Amino acid sequence: MYYIGKTLELMGIACLGAALLFVFTNPLDYSESKLMGIEMGLLTLGILIFFVGRLIEKRS
């Protein structure tokens, strides 16, 4: 369970990094409102995955 928790933490960090990448570079040339929706979705997903991984890691 420890490794599953660590993997989920890393996946959460990757989602947060993807959100920052979209915000600063806008590689797909989206409008600002669409980009903000993608950013908020990735940030929410990343934070949730990170803390679920943290909880799993602490329990084992």
Residue 60 clears pLDDT 90, i.e. is over it: no
Give the DSSP letter string of 5-59: HHHHHHHHHHHHHHHHHHHHH-TT---HHHHHHHHHHHHHHHHHHHHHHHHHHHH
Tell me the pLDDT tens digit for each residue of 10-41.
Answer: 999 999 999 999 889 988 899 999 999 999 99
Phi-psi sector, 43: left (phi>0), alpha (psi -120 to 50), beta: alpha
Q: For the residues 33-58, what does the mean pLDDT come to? A: 94
- Tell me if 50 sits within 8 A of 5, measured CB to CB: no
